[in-house]
Amino acid sequence: MEQRLTTQQLELIVGEVGRLANRQAEELDRSEIEKILVELNLPPELLDEAMIQVQRKEALVKQKQRTIGMVIASVIALVMIIAGASLFSQSKNSSLAKITASADRITLVQSNEDIQIVKQGSELAYRVTLNDAPVGEKLNLTCNWMDPTSRVIHTNRFETKNITTSVWNTQCRYKVPTSAPTGNWKVQIFVGDRSLEQAPFVVK
**pTM of the full structure:** 0.56
Query: Domains of the chain: which residue ranges?
Result: 25-95, 100-203
* CATH classification code of 100-203: 2.60.40.1930
pLDDT tens digit sequence for 66-94: 888 888 888 887 877 776 555 555 555 56
pLDDT tens digit sequence for 89-114: 555 556 788 999 988 999 999 888 99
Closest Cα to residue 132, out of 91, 101, 154? 101
Cα dihedral sign for 159, 161, 164, 170? negative
pLDDT tens digit sequence for 35-67: 777 777 778 787 778 778 888 888 888 888 888
